[in-house]
Amino acid sequence: MLLKAFAKINWSLDITGVRPDGYHLLDMVMQPISLADDIRLAPAPDLSLHTDGYPPCRADASNLAWRAADLLRKKFSLSRGVRIDLHKRIPMGAGLGGGSADAAAVLFGLNRLWNLGLSQDQLKSLGLTLGADVPFCLRGGLVRTRGIGDLLEDRPCRISYWLLVFQPCRALSTGEIFKAYHAASSPRRPDTERVLEALSAGNPPLLSASIYNVLEPVSSSACPEIAEAVSSLAGAGAFASGMTGSGSAVFGAFRSRSLAEKAMKALSPRWKRIHLCHTQSDSIRIMED
């Protein structure tokens, strides 16, 4: 089975509290984008992971794709294995959900390949044990995500927007960024309802005025290139630009592909590995079964 595991962006990200166990309570608007990793699953005597592409990633038990397969094997006491071939394109430590997307695709694919019969809710519960973004990556669409990533609400989206996405600096640690957030002040908050209204109506000016990520100032303090890149995207014609997740990737949204391509040409001398992509509804796609 060959699958595409799609990255995501956060149109907005807000922190609404912290649970007694230390997990952050979030309010986010998330959507898949066409930038994707390729995953091939093939029956095998044991579990193995093989990686290529860019960025290079570890092919061991630290990889979420491997951990997703191992989770299913242990839960169902399976002796069968699978060979996972992972071709990377999604930057890591970027807030694009690449590892979560890979884990979601492996859970989704093995549920079919091994005839496990798990429901969407069962897959979501398993996915949450691997990472907060995995339930969303199993679901796709425009989603308002709350709680610790477990409360998902589908929302309508009228238009698919062309994007430029790139990582202007080193990878960032999600844990370190959240820790630094509590030591800083963040008076600005996103207007989440207006973000959703703008995406539903296809209203770029309203979307531009409403999106925000409360982690962006903290991540920009760690990597000043983030703020520079967000500003560069706006200067190149993006009607909205910002950081996704806890960083360090940024995105700019454009009214047409031609405008995005023009901006990409202008920005390429300064920023490397810029991805031209678009928003979409699919988070996982079977290419070959």
pLDDT tens-digit map of 183-201? 876 678 899 999 999 999 9
* One-letter amino acid of 12: S
**Residue range 91-121, pLDDT digits in tens:** 999 999 999 999 999 999 999 999 999 999 9
Residues 28-36, mean pLDDT to the nearest whole number: 98
- Average pLDDT of span 205-215: 96
What does the alpha-carbon distance between residue 122 and residue 94 come to, in Å, rounded to a whole number? Answer: 28
**Fold adopted by 2-156:** Ribosomal Protein S5; domain 2 (3.30.230)
| pLDDT above 80 for 47 | yes
Q: Please say whether the beta carbons of 123 and 107 come within 8 A.
A: yes
On average, the pLDDT of the chain sits at 95
- What is the pLDDT, as a whole number, of residue 186? 67
Question: Across residues 201-212, what is the average pLDDT?
Answer: 96
How is the chain split into domains, by residue range?
A: 2-156, 162-278
Catalytic residue annotation: 8, 133
Question: What's the whole-number mean pLDDT along residues 34-44?
Answer: 98
What's the confidence (pLDDT) of residue 103?
98
What digits encode the pLDDT tens for the residues 153-190? 999 998 999 999 999 999 999 989 998 998 876 678 89
Please state the rounded mean pLDDT for residues 52-66.
95
**Which residue shows structure tokens 């860019």?**
54
Task: Among 3.30.70.890, 3.30.1380.10, 2.70.98.40, 3.40.50.1980, name the CATH number for the domain at 162-278.
Answer: 3.30.70.890
Average pLDDT estimate for 193-212: 97
Tokens of 94: 């970027």
Structure tokens that stand for 252 in this block: 């700019």
Confidence of residue 21 (pLDDT cuts 50, 70, 90): confident
Report which of residues 261 and 19 the model is more confident about.
261
Quick: pLDDT tens for 246-285: 999 999 999 999 999 999 999 999 998 999 999 999 999 9
pLDDT above 90 as % of the chain: 90
β strands within the chain, DSSP E: 2-18, 24-44, 47-53, 81-88, 142-147, 151-155, 162-166, 240-243, 250-254, 275-278, 284-288
Cα distance between residue 199 and residue 154, in whole Å: 12
H or E, element range at 98: helix 98-113
